Structure 1
Amino acid sequence: MKILITGAKGFVGKNLIVTLERLEDLEIYQFDIDTDPALLDTYTKDCEFVFHLAGVNRPQNVEEFMEGNFGFTSDLLNSLKNNHNTCPILITSSIQADLDNPYGKSKKAGEDLLFSYGQETGAKVLVYRLPNVFGKWCRPNYNSAVATFCHNIAHDLPIKVNDPNVVMNLVYIDDVVEELIRALNCNETREGDFCIVPIVHTIKLGEIVELIYSFKNSRSELSIPNMADAFTKKLYATYLSYLPEDRFSYPLKMNVDNRGSFSEMIRTPERGQVSVNISKPGITKGNHWHHTKNEKFLVVSGRGVIRFRKVGSDKVIEYHVSGEKLEVVDIPTGYTHNIENLGDSDMVTIMWANECFDPEKPDTYFLEV
């Protein structure tokens, strides 16, 4: 199947193309502003589906809105007509097509042109009035406040919020691409004359900004955003894509002594904390028990033994562990426990605790195994 994509280098275009390229039996014709104009006629001769994603958002002058959003659409449809090609054509418009501004008027003109084309030729037309789209690869300081906020906050640059109470309707780029693929397979989501992306997130602008700042602070706080919330999960993924390339990593505080080190990696109030424990050869750590606090140990390098003894009992239980055979050991409540490095090199253990350590209520009681 031959597919023509206009605006191929744009935000939606790039995300759509990398998805389509994973599918079999597709040939993609990519057309953008720097493509040889003569190729438009070549591509429209035998293309079997058109994703018309090209558009103008931030022109030098307002006249370019109509030239880009109406004029090029006209050129594309005329080229299809000249080649007697009535394949389906999908256009990404904007909810602003209902507004009385130069951008909205140009989008509305492009929609009307496409609907008329469909009536004239019998071609299937799909018009998507998209709300604000966010996600990776969106240009900051161009047509997305979310992209601008993510970029600026990640780069320690100021942002400007005129009204934090403005309600935003947003769609995530992956949800957009999934819907476009459904449309390609004749399974589009329709609402009257228009097509829609069915998953829309509604949130105040100020709340978006607060979330993005919380993402930035999560490194120092060792926190993880609430991944159970769909919008937070998608916004966090978007924020990470704007990190400066020299700031992908961040240091952890290593608590070091002659026994090795202990470093917290993640702290969450609802899912506990994850830490990395490094033990020197021959070192034993632990010898304590908990009432309610529970843990999971996973040795990923080296070899050792985890010992348990139920409080009030003399019986010692041993679990030999090694990085050569990964297995998680639960640390039950009411058992004093320790972990000893039996190898000749450092032993590295990933430790999860069901609650973050609270020095005011440690629930940790010393007792030799």
Structure 2
Amino acid sequence: MKILVTGARGFIGENLIAELRNRHYNDILECYRNTDATLLEEYCREADFVFHLAGVNRPQNESEFEEGNLGFTSILLNALEKYDNDCPVMFASSTQATLDNAYGKSKRAAEDLIFAHAKSSNSKALIYRFPNVFGKWCKPNYNSAIATFCYNIARDLPITVNDPSVKMNLVYIDDVVEELIRGLDDHHNVVDNFCEVPTMHTTTLGEIVELIESYKKSREERSIPNMHEALSKKLYSTYLSYLPEDRFSYDLKMNVDQRGSFTEFIKTMDRGQVSINVSKPGITKGNHWHHTKNEKFLVVSGQGVIRFRKVGSEEVIEYFVSGERMEVVDIPTGYTHNIENLGDTDMVTVMWANELFNPERPDTYYLEV
């Protein structure tokens, strides 16, 4: 299948082409702003499906709306008709097509052209009136508030929010791409003659800013935001894609002594925390128990033994562990426990606790195993 993508270097186009290639659609005809007219005609002759994503939304003057949205659509359809190509045409329109502004009018006129083409050529028109689309690779400080917020906040640059109560309808780029690719198999989602991305999120501008600022803060606090809501998960992924390339990493506080080190890695409000424990050869750590706090130990390097003794009992239980065998050991409440490095190299243990450490209520009681 030969797939023509106009606007191939734009936000949606770049993401769509990347995923098409992931799914082994390798015959992609990419049309850019400066693609030669002769080459475009050749593409229109060969195409089995057209993703028409090219458009103008931030011109220097309003006349460019008609030229970029309506004019180019007309050129595209004329080329298809010249070669009697009745392949399906998908068009990236906008919810603003219902509004009486220059951009909306140009999009609505392009829609009408595509519907007329589909009727005359007995082909399919897949027209999407997209709301705000967000995700990786969207150009900041252009036409996406989310891209701008993510880019600026990640760089400690100021942002402007005129009215935080403004409601926003959002679709995530991966959901958009998934829906568009379904159209290749005629499985697109149609509602009242137009197509829609099934998953849409509604929130306010202020809530978006609060979330993005919390993502920045989470790196400073070494925590992970709550990902329970789908929007938060998608927005967090979007934010990380705008990090400056020299700020992908961040330092952790290592608590170091003669026994080794202990470093908190990830903290969450509702799923506890993960820490990395390094023990020197011959060192034993622990010898304490908990009422409610529970933990999981995973030795990823070195070898050792985890010992348990139920409080009030004399019986000692041993679990021998090694980085050569990935084995999680649960630390039940009511058992005093320790971990000893039996090897001649550092032993590295990943430790998860079901709650954040609270120095005022540590729920940790010293008792030799």
| Residue in 2 that maps onto 1:303 | 303
Distance 2:76 2:359 in 1: 68
| Residue in 1 that maps onto 2:73 | 73
Contact 1:57–1:142 under 8 Å retained in 2 = no
Q: Which AA in structure 1 matches 2:163?
A: D
| Residue in 2 that maps onto 1:354 | 354
Contact 2:226–2:269 under 8 Å retained in 1 = no
Regions of 4+ moved over 3 Å: none
Which runs of structure 2 are paired with 1:138-153 in the superposition (5 Å)?
Answer: 138-153=138-153
* Cα distance, 1:85 vs structure 2: 0.7
Q: Deviations over 1:47-85 (max 9, x none)?
A: 111000000111121111110000000000000011111
Gap regions ≥5 residues in structure 1: none
Task: Give the TM-score, by structure 2 length.
Answer: 0.98
Is residue 167 from structure 1 mapped to residue 141 from structure 2 by the alignment?
A: no
Distance 1:157 1:66 in 2: 34
The size of the alignment, in residue pairs, is: 369
Q: Which AA in structure 2 matches 1:188?
A: H
Distance 1:262 1:23 in 2: 43
Is residue 192 from structure 1 mapped to residue 211 from structure 2 by the alignment?
A: no
Q: Deviations over 1:81-136 (max 9, x none)?
A: 11111111010100001111111111111111111112222221111000000000
* Root mean square deviation, CA, Å: 0.9
Task: Give the TM-score, by structure 1 length.
Answer: 0.98
Distance 2:316 2:119 in 1: 82
Q: Which AA in structure 2 matches 1:314?
A: E
Which runs of structure 2 are paired with 1:289-300 in the superposition (5 Å)?
Answer: 289-300=289-300
* Cα distance, 1:37 vs structure 2: 2.0
Distance 2:138 2:249 in 1: 22
Q: Deviations over 1:287-341 (max 9, x none)?
A: 0000111000001111111111111111111111111111000001110000111
Distance 1:262 1:224 in 2: 19
Distance 2:191 2:244 in 1: 40
Contact 2:73–2:110 under 8 Å retained in 1 = yes
| Residue in 2 that maps onto 1:86 | 86
Distance 1:185 1:212 in 2: 36
The SS at the match of 2:22 is: coil
Distance 1:37 1:236 in 2: 40
Distance 1:330 1:155 in 2: 41
Distance 2:82 2:15 in 1: 30
Contact 2:226–2:268 under 8 Å retained in 1 = no
Contact 2:308–2:336 under 8 Å retained in 1 = yes
The SS at the match of 1:237 is: helix
Q: Which AA in structure 2 matches 1:109?
A: A
Q: Which AA in structure 2 matches 1:69?
A: N
Gap regions ≥5 residues in structure 2: none
* Cα distance, 1:178 vs structure 2: 0.6
Contact 2:171–2:200 under 8 Å retained in 1 = yes
Distance 1:192 1:201 in 2: 20
* Cα distance, 1:237 vs structure 2: 0.4
